[in-house]
Amino acid sequence: MARVLRDSYGRVADDLRISVTDRCNFRCIYCMPAEGLKWLGREEILRYEEIRRLARLFVERYGVRTIRITGGEPLVRMKVEELVGMIGELDPTLDITMTTNGVLLAGKAEKLAAAGLKRVNVSLDTLSLDRFHDIARVDAFAKVMDGLRAAEEAGLKPIKLNVVVMKGHNDDEAVDFARLAREKGYEVRFIEFMPLDGDGIWKPDLVVPSQVLQERIEDQFPLVVLQEDRPAPSHNYRFADGAPGGVGFISSVSQAFCTTCNRVRLTAEGGLRTCLFSLHETPLRDLMRGGASDDTLGHVIEAAIWQKEEGHEIGQAGFIKPAKSMSQIGG
């Protein structure tokens, strides 16, 4: 019988996000500086066998049911489909997902699906070719579209689109994304811009509250609340007229979901983070490489989860921005 990872506020962590690399082939303005960041060395990041060991602990000992592979951009890590297969062997019923920018997905979708990946979240912040370059700072719009088609053909579903909304950049595209969801059966997640960018451009004025976007969409396409079985960061909706697809809103700034957060994160170098905005993380890599037993690792993990922060305090006087950007943490 698996134990549960419970923090001091009664929340249960059963959703594990594993970053497999800090490297990325995009330079999105809400995430990284244009010149990039100093990458971790090969020996600094967890080996696949080490990731599998930690995943096994979370699954077998603590009953984690969802594992998301993230980065940086996870598809720049060599043979990441082999890692998906290694995790899938732990339990074929695991919900194994991946967040990707989609630019390499066309060449990987079939391999990932065959290895046991269930679905993908593709980061796509605009449907405009020119805006895509302005936001991602690369010319890759066509390749991302190819990746989405490949994911459909490989049977990865549902396909979710992650849209980070920034005032003056893409906040006028909410209805266009909702229309795309209806046409393709995608689930679009609108994410409020968070202070985790490498350039330090975040300010409250750039945040577009989810409520504003929802009202714009409902003017065109009435929505119906989708009831969820498990805690979720997004408030999700279906279309009232029965059209396929749906939309959701992750209101990390305006309506934080901290009180029901069930997530825990493993960084590429083996740091356990209990919150995106944690000011510290618990190092697990050196413990493993130093010969720590599963029981020792378990005690360290349990202690870290127990001390999980009550909330991220964005907008409050005591808020301190983490030293790491989103790409270095893993979404």
Q: Residue by residue, what is the 3-state secondary structure of 233-286?
A: CCEEEEECCCCCCEEEEECCCCCCCHHHCCEEEECCCCEEECCCCCCCCEECHH
The mean pLDDT of the chain is: 91
Domains contained in the chain, number: 1
DSSP, res 72: S
Host domain of residue 237:
15-329
Q: Is the pLDDT score of 313 beyond 80?
A: no
- Within a domain: residue 166? yes
Candidates 54, 48, 49, 59; CA nearest to 96 is 59
Q: Is the pLDDT score of 320 beyond 90?
A: no
- Within a domain: residue 3? no
Cα R_g (the chain), whole angstroms: 19
**What is the predicted pLDDT for the residue at 280?**
86
Q: Is the pLDDT score of 299 beyond 70?
A: yes
CA gap 130, 137 in Å, rounded: 10
Q: Is the pLDDT score of 287 beyond 90?
A: yes
- Within a domain: residue 5? no
**What is the predicted pLDDT for the residue at 207?**
86
- Within a domain: residue 10? no
CB 308 within 8 A of CB 277: no
Candidates 259, 257, 307; CA nearest to 280 is 307
Give pLDDT tens digits for 215-242. 999 999 999 998 877 666 678 999 999 9
Q: Domain containing 305 — which CATH number?
A: 3.20.20.70
- Within a domain: residue 79? yes
Mean pLDDT of 124-131: 96
- Within a domain: residue 2? no
Give pLDDT tens digits for 159-216. 999 999 999 899 999 999 999 999 999 999 999 887 666 667 767 778 888 999 999 9
Candidates 201, 197, 191; CA nearest to 165 is 191
Cis peptide before 222 (omega within 30 of 0): no
- Within a domain: residue 6? no
- Within a domain: residue 31? yes
CA gap 54, 118 in Å, rounded: 20
Looking up tokens 């305006």, which residue turns up?
254
